[in-house]
Structures are given as C-alpha cells and as structure tokens.
Structure 1
Amino acid sequence: MPDFRVTLVERLFEADAGDFRVTATDAEAAARIVLNAVPDSVDSDGIRTTILPDGQEVDLEVEEVVHGEIVAMVHDAGTGVLQGQFGFSLVFSPGREAAAVLARVMDRVLADDGERDTHAACVLLRRYLHEYLNADA
C-alpha cells in the first residue's frame, strides 16, 4: 500500500460587506469599477475604506467569522505531489495548469449550442477560472 502525507488544514473566513450602486455596461464592468477602487491596505484601525470616483464610500472592518472548514490535503509521501483535497471547502485552487484546462473546456461547452442547459453554470465557472488565472498577473 502507498504512503501518504496528510496535512489537516483548518480555515476560518471572516467577512464584512458594503454595497455600491454602479451604472456600467455589464456586471463585470460594474465589478471592475468597484474592485479597482479598493485600496491595498487598511488604515491604523483595521478599516479598509473604498471610495468610488463618484464619491460613494464603504468602510469594511472584518470582524465576523462567516465560515469555518477543516480539510485534508493529501500528498504522495515520496514525491510530495498533491493527490487531492478532501472535505468540503470554499477554497478552489486547482493550480494554473488545471485551471487553464478547465477554462478551455468551459469555452468549448459554451460554444456548443447543444449544451444550453449547462450554459449558466459554465459562465460562472469560466469567470471564476479566468479570475483565478489572472490573479497573479
């Protein structure tokens, strides 16, 4: 039987939220207007103040835990190669290569008019994958 190194990971997710009213050409353009206005750091009180070009302002002060999870990351004991993540997680981090493959699959499914029942799900997953792939760009 093979040997595995299993890393038990506990994650806590904290959140705060604030709303803006944005007029834009589409949903992504509206999101980009807001995301581009978010400062890289918080102030000395731990508050991240986001101000849009039109003057709308939201203060985010993350204090509330909204989700907790425990997952097992399983690696081959000899090579260290990740074999999988087990347990429910809000974090989906497939790696750049797998994300690129999945994005291409989503593009093909969306191009096929015979797959209309899966269109909405593919749009959401493809958007997530493109965001993931461009996160370090």
Structure 2
Amino acid sequence: MKRIDFWGRDENDERLLEEVINGLKTATCTPKVWYDRLPNEEKSNIGDILEAFTKKGVHRATIEITDFYEIPFGKIEGEIGEKIAKGENSTLEEFVEDHIFSWKEPLEAEGKSLNDDTIIVVEHFKLVSVVGDEVNK
C-alpha cells in the first residue's frame, strides 16, 4: 500500500497528521518539481488508499485520494483557492503564507524559485480509518 508522511517544522511536529485524524485537514500539496521525483508507484491517483505515518514511522491513519490536480501557485485564489485552503485547515492567506515559509528556502537551495508560475500538485482526500489512540507513540 502507498504511504504518506505529513510535513512538520521538526521531527516531533505531528500537527498536520493530528488534523487529518481529527477530520480537519482534507488536502495536501507539494511543488510539482518535488512530486515528480517520487517513484511512479508512490504517485497518487484518485481512489488510491494511502497509509499515513508519524515521523517515527508509526501507522496512524488511512486516507483515500478523492481529487488530484496541478495548479500554478499564483492561481490559488477565488473558489479553488478557498477549497484548497479549507482542505488545508487554513484561510487562503494563511495557506499562502505557510507554504511560502515551507517551500521558498528549500526550493531556492535547489536553484528553483517559488513564484506565481510554480506548479503545485494538490491532493484532496477523505479519512478512511484511524489506528491507535495517540499520534506521538
């Protein structure tokens, strides 16, 4: 089965996984340049079932991909922007700020830039099941 790990500010930050488990986070995204580096068997399609793991490698939840698309970062606005932000459990402004914080420096370290034309891959999902009762085991 495919797996997914959610980003965190450090090795103990399980906030995003906790939001998934609590039904608050229903979308995730990444710059296409990073997504394209995944082996084909790890790339998602609508209907795929993914196991979500903690940073310590503990399986905590299972999700199903319900929508998948690419969009330029600068087009995260209006109705589609609100849909993505809501799925990320944030406002549109928070979504943009959080992802600039998360992506700008790592992309620049690779000689890439984060700008309005940067293509991102967006995956919407639904929670299928939760494993255990604590995120940080």
TM-score by length of 2: 0.25
The higher-RCO structure (CA 8 Å, 6+ apart) is: 2
Larger Rg: 1
